[in-house]
Amino acid sequence: MVYRKNCNFLLDRNIKKYTLKEEYIPNDNVVDRSNIWKIAPTNSKEHPAIFPDELCRRILKYYSFKGDVVLDPFAGIGTFGRIANMMGRIPVLCEINKKYIEIIEEENIYDDISKTSD
CA-closest candidate to residue 63, choices 85, 84, 44: 84
CATH architecture of 11-107: 3-Layer(aba) Sandwich (3.40)
Q: Write the pLDDT tens digit of every residue in 40-89.
A: 888 888 888 888 999 999 888 877 888 889 999 999 999 999 999 999 99
Give counts: helices (H), strands (E), the chain. Answer: 4, 2
> Rounded distance, CA 87 to CA 11, Å?
20
Predicted TM-score (pTM) of this structure: 0.70
